[in-house]
Amino acid sequence: MTLSALSLRCSACGETYETDWAWRCDCGAPLDFLADARPSRDAPDPRGFDDRRGLWSFADFLPVGPHVTLGEGMTPLVDAPDWDASFKLEYVFPTGSFKDRGATTTLSVAAELGVEKVVEDSSGNAGAAVATYAARAGIDADIYVPASVKASKLRAIERAGATPVRVEGSREDVTDACVDAVEAGEGWYASHAWNPAFFAGTATFAYELAYQRGWSAPDAVVTPLGHGTLFLGAYRGFRALRDAGWIDEIPTLLGAQAAGYAPIADELHGQNEGRNDVADGIQIRDPTRRGQILAAIDATDGDAIALSASAVESELDALHRKGFYTEPTCAVAPAALREYRERGVLAPDDDVVVPLTGSGLKG
């Protein structure tokens, strides 16, 4: 792997960063890889496909090799008859959330670049994932978290030997403090919102799902939507599969936001009432890749809606009673599935997949 595979381009102005890694463009916009990795072969026979390397089985689509791995990926895809859908159990990961998809690729890039210390800001799950994969890599990590972070998530960060930096104030204040540290040269930004390596990792959700379905995509996928780490990753993954000719069509992508923290839903449908503080993982008022999220919704005939705290709480109960031991933020997606059907956005016979994104054990 040469450094050129990690060359970057600005998503807004087109400026390129070919030799030096940058965490964002001089114009302020997020960067993406200059050239996305793509397979040069036709879709392999799913019956003979070797998936023993987990998400790294899809190396054809990844910008980096598995320098830092804990055997992650190939999460189960199971029927959920009570929801008339399939669930992909994204809480079956080393740190109990889908964020490990991005942490394994991002820390692999960090290792390839010879990074000695990473920094990340997170409400908990991304911080735990980055801390854990940094530990695996032998790379130091400072994780900026809200002062109100859940004790279980803080413990996961601390026990991995990372340094948690608790910041009073809003989720935006946490990011601001972390960005100040990045700008002061205190570490390489392993951000689940900014770093394109993270999205290359979350794109593996789409590769696994299509493979598990014999190289076909469902009609629709409903995901939680904060910074769009999974939503955009899924979009990029399905787009890569379609461009490679491995699937025919990209599914409709439907986002689930928390009322009061729903900038995308508000832009599409007007301001929402209420405030949902139950879904602590997606309290993002100003997503870094807002334009890209709206473009993905537009390109897939998708949508985003906001869910109330009570809808999420009752959905979480329903999940737990059917054996899906997940965290509250995760429940916004199946709650949204219900709402999308009621609104007629999804037809009764639509084939829908919902990722369950985070474990109740850390919730």
Using the contact rule CB under 5 A, the part of the chain among 14-22, 83-91, 152-160, 258-266 near Zn ion is 14-22
Q: Least Å distance between CB 266 and Zn ion? A: 26
Q: Least Å distance between CB 12 and Zn ion? A: 5
Query: Which of 137-152 are b and which e, b meaning 16 or more Cβ less than 10 Å from the residue's Cβ?
Result: bebbbbbbbbeebbeb
Q: Are 60 and 209 in contact (CB under 8 A)?
A: no
13 vs 35 by CB, closer to Zn ion: 13
Is residue 25 close enough to count as binding Zn ion by CB under 5 A?
yes
Q: What are phi and psi of 147, to 5 degrees?
A: -60, -25
Unique residue bearing structure tokens 């109990």:
96
Q: Are 339 and 307 in contact (CB under 8 A)?
A: yes
Is residue 13 close enough to count as binding Zn ion by CB under 5 A?
yes
Using the contact rule CB under 5 A, the part of the chain among 29-37, 208-216, 255-263, 294-302 near Zn ion is 29-37
10 vs 304 by CB, closer to Zn ion: 10
How many residues make contact with Zn ion (CB under 5 A)? Answer: 7
Residue 202, classed as helix, strand or coil, is: helix
Nearest to residue 143, comparing CAs of 152, 153, 22? 153
Q: Name which position in 5, 9, 15, 66 contacts Zn ion (CB under 5 A).
A: 15
Is residue 173 close enough to count as binding Zn ion by CB under 5 A?
no
Q: Least Å distance between CB 63 and Zn ion? A: 20
Q: Least Å distance between CB 258 and Zn ion? A: 30
Is residue 219 close enough to count as binding Zn ion by CB under 5 A?
no
**Identity of the residue numbered 361:** L
Angle, vertex CA 209, rays to CA 331 and CA 224, nearest 5: 25
Number of neighbouring beta carbons within 10 Å of residue 338:
17
Q: Are 51 and 40 in contact (CB under 8 A)?
A: no
Using the contact rule CB under 5 A, the part of the chain among 12-20, 57-65, 67-75, 201-209 near Zn ion is 12-20
Residues composing the chain: 363
Q: Least Å distance between CB 8 and Zn ion? A: 10
Q: Name which position in 22, 27, 78, 299 contacts Zn ion (CB under 5 A).
A: 27
Tokens of 261: 């923290």
Q: Least Å distance between CB 172 and Zn ion? A: 22
Using the contact rule CB under 5 A, the part of the chain among 20-28, 153-161, 182-190, 262-270 near Zn ion is 20-28
Q: How far apart are CA 149 and CA 93, in angstroms?
A: 21
Q: What are phi and psi of 125, to 5 degrees?
A: -65, -45
Using the contact rule CB under 5 A, the part of the chain among 4-12, 44-52, 69-77, 101-109 near Zn ion is 4-12
Helices vs strands, H then E, count in the chain:
11, 13
23 vs 246 by CB, closer to Zn ion: 23
Q: Least Å distance between CB 66 and Zn ion? A: 30
Using the contact rule CB under 5 A, the part of the chain among 7-15, 113-121, 191-199, 257-265 near Zn ion is 7-15
Using the contact rule CB under 5 A, the part of the chain among 9-17, 110-118, 248-256, 323-331 near Zn ion is 9-17
4 vs 16 by CB, closer to Zn ion: 16
Query: Which of 255-275 are b and which e, b meaning 16 or more Cβ less than 10 Å from the residue's Cβ?
Result: bbbbbbbbbbbbebeeebeee
Is residue 29 close enough to count as binding Zn ion by CB under 5 A?
yes
Q: Are 72 and 100 in contact (CB under 8 A)?
A: yes
Q: How far apart are CA 356 and CA 95, in angstroms?
A: 14
Q: Least Å distance between CB 136 and Zn ion? A: 33
Q: How far apart are CA 78 and CA 348, in angstroms?
A: 19
Letters for 296-325 (x = contact with Zn ion by CB under 5 A, - = none) are ------------------------------
Binding site for Zn ion (CB under 5 A): 10, 12-13, 15, 25, 27, 29
